[in-house]
Amino acid sequence: MQQIKLCLYKGTYDCESASSIEIKILGSLFASDLGCPGTSLDNWIFDDEQGIITSGNIIELEKEDDYIYLNNMYDKRKILIQLKISRRNLFSLLYDWQNKVCKKNPQPQEVIIKYENNIFTLETSDTL
């Protein structure tokens, strides 16, 4: 199992700990590029006419078949490190992010994104 923990600090989420570089890329998408109330990628995920590539402040997303590849545009490593996620799984995470994080008042203190059995899931906690 891999995971990343995002902690609420002064109204925004920061990547607190990550078990791999790849999952940190996913955490950066939510913490830095989407935030709350959250930029919507819902339509882009499934509509290829809206383009194959999009990006936020840090993370670039590229569609290929049923998957989306995420990479850090500013990573200076010579080898490209990407995270691969199915379109449906990313859509599900975005839905959970909106409903479990952004729409909660107060927002949860901690968000954990886990990767287990080829599925990414999002959990929240109000205690650090």
* pLDDT of res. 36: 83
pLDDT, mean over the chain: 92
pLDDT tens, position by position, 43-76 = 899 999 999 999 988 999 999 999 999 999 888 7
Nearest to 73 by CA among 61, 87, 65: 61
Which pair of tokens denotes residue 61? 């997303």
Q: For 31-35, 45-49, 55-59, 114-118, which range has the lowest pLDDT when averaged over its residues?
A: 31-35
Q: Coil, strand, or helix at residue 5? A: strand
Overall average pLDDT of the 32-53 stretch:
87
This prediction's pTM: 0.91
Q: Please state, in angstroms and rounded to a whole number, the distance separating the CA atoms of residues 119 and 55.
A: 23
Q: Coil, strand, or helix at residue 69? A: strand
